[in-house]
Amino acid sequence: MAKGPAGVTRDEEAQARVMPPAVMLRVVEATKTFEGVRALDSVSFEVRAGHIKALIGPNGAGKTTMLNVINGLLAPDSGHVHFQGCDLVEMKTDRIAFLGLARTFQLVRLFSVNNATVLDNVLVGAHKSLRPSVAGTLFFRSRAARNEAAAREKAMEMLRFVGLEKAAAMQPGALSFGSQRLVELARSLMADPRLVLLDEPASGLNDAEVESFMELLSVIKGRGVTVLLVEHNMKLVMGVSDDVVVLDFGRKLAEGPPSAICSDPLVIEAYLGPECAVRGSP
């Protein structure tokens, strides 16, 4: 079967046009307790293939915890996370990555030791396809060199996509916080993900940068990559997402299209405040 760049088959694309898109990720009654505090309290939601879904809520609502549960960094006390026919709850983070899940981090986590460059960081995103081994490196040198050259070309393409190709040889610490977030985005896209989790990608960006980041997101979506986005910037959330789920104190408060979320009195009271309906209308 012919596969597009995001690993989506032609059939799936055709299907998406006539029917509501298939479910890419299904979280079922996820519960996580930290020392008696319920960070997640029986949260269920779905992310449809090809959609941008936003996860919003006040600080401490459990948004990052939710991403860490999906990503396998945290094991939930109970509940399930279905993705690609697997229950992620039983899998280790590195195996989950091989299923086609990539992410960025709220507090930027770029590799910085041993003078690692921005390009090196993006290249680590290609681990799934390179799968470096001792024997492969030492004994199959020409194949390793070919794969490396192809990966470098693709990494530069990713850096061009986020507008940072000039920073390729720089060390990530020399970049602004906003640029570091974009390097993280490039690194996650390098992994050819089916689903990418973005944890507050727009924090630290100014208005103009948010605008261009929104354009990036719609291009990513256009390539068939599904996005689950944790974000506080309502202009971004209401502008790009197909669907929003609201968490408050670990519980799901509401779920629906941005317009419905904006006018939901519960959400307005808990999080958005009365000015959202005006500011966020698309």
Partner 1 sequence: MTRLARYWWLLVLLCIALYPPTLGGMSPYRCGILVFVGIYVILAVSLDLLMGYAGQISVGHAAFFAIGAYASGILTAKYGVSPLPAMIAGVLLSAGVAWAMGRPVLALREYYLAMATLALNVIVVTLITGMQSLTGGASGLRDIPAFSLFGFSFESDVRYYYFVWSVVVFVVLTSLALVRSSFGRTLIAIQSDETAASSFGIDCPAYKVRVYVLSAAFASLAGSLFAHHMSFIAPDDFGVLTSINILVMLFLGGSGTIFGPVLGAGFLKLLPEVTYKFQDYEMLLNGVILIVVLLFLPRGLYGVVTAVRNGLVRSLGRQ
CB 100 within 8 A of CB 175: no
- What Å distances lie between residue 229 and 118, 176, 195, CA to CA? 23, 21, 10
Candidate ranges 20-28, 79-87, 115-123, 232-240; the one touching partner 1 (CB under 8 A):
115-123
Which listed residue (16, 28, 73, 214) binds partner 1 by CB under 8 A? 73
Restricted to residues 199-258, the positions that interact with partner 1 (CB under 8 A) are: none
Candidate ranges 26-34, 43-51, 91-99, 202-210; the one touching partner 1 (CB under 8 A):
91-99
Minimum Å gap between C-beta 158 and partner 1 is 13
Q: What is the per-residue binding string for partner 1 in 124-143, x denoting contact by CB under 8 A?
A: xxxxx-x-xxx-xxx--x--
- What Å distances lie between residue 234 and 131, 247, 253, CA to CA? 39, 15, 17
Strands 78-83 and 23-34, how do they pair?
Answer: antiparallel
Q: What is the per-residue binding string for partner 1 in 172-201, x denoting contact by CB under 8 A?
A: ---------------x---x----------
Give the side-chain half-sphere CA count within 13 A for 274: 0
Q: Which residues pair with 252 in a beta bridge?
A: 247
- What Å distances lie between residue 114 and 22, 131, 176, 188, CA to CA? 43, 21, 20, 21
List residues near partner 1 by CB under 8 A. 71, 73, 92-95, 97-98, 102-103, 105, 109-114, 116, 120, 123-128, 130, 132-134, 136-138, 141, 144, 147-148, 151, 187, 191
